[in-house]
Amino acid sequence: MSKYDEALKILIEEVDEANCEYGNIRPSALKSVRDIEELVKRATPMKPLGISITHEGRCANCPSCNKLVHEQTKDAYNRPLHVCHCGQLIDWSDK
């Protein structure tokens, strides 16, 4: 479990406890927790779906947004990019 997963877990527990005790957690606070949960999920590398081999290398669908991602996509510095445009980290390893 990453430190971000741990931080999110603590945050969710605190919000749940406060909501049970006082029952007056603002909807914006609950939405913020869900937004952070989404961010933590995207920062956790996930396997791409349906890998196929093309003349440009391997491509597959992003597990979060389902858009096509290419393994050989490069960033502005010509480094291999392992992030979908939606922000999801992609784990291209064979493990």
Binding residues for Zn ion (CB under 5 A): 62, 64-65, 84, 86, 88
Task: Work out how close the CB of 16 gets to Zn ion at its nearest, in angstroms, rounded to a whole number.
Answer: 29
Pick 9 or 74: Cβ nearer Zn ion = 74
Q: Which are the contacts of 32, defined by CB distance < 8 A and separation ≥ 6? A: none
Task: Work out how close the CB of 56 gets to Zn ion at its nearest, in angstroms, rounded to a whole number.
Answer: 18
What is the sign of the dihedral through the CA atoms of 5, 6, 11 and 12?
A: positive
Pick 34 or 67: Cβ nearer Zn ion = 67
Query: What separation in angstroms does the CA of 67 have from each of 24, 55, 83, 84?
Result: 39, 19, 12, 8
Task: Work out how close the CB of 44 gets to Zn ion at its nearest, in angstroms, rounded to a whole number.
Answer: 13
Kind and range of the H or E element at 13? helix 3-22
Pick 5 or 61: Cβ nearer Zn ion = 61
Q: Which residues pair with 28 in a beta bridge?
A: none
Pick 16 or 38: Cβ nearer Zn ion = 38
Task: Work out how close the CB of 48 gets to Zn ion at its nearest, in angstroms, rounded to a whole number.
Answer: 9
User: Which structure tokens are listed for 82?
Assistant: 């392992």
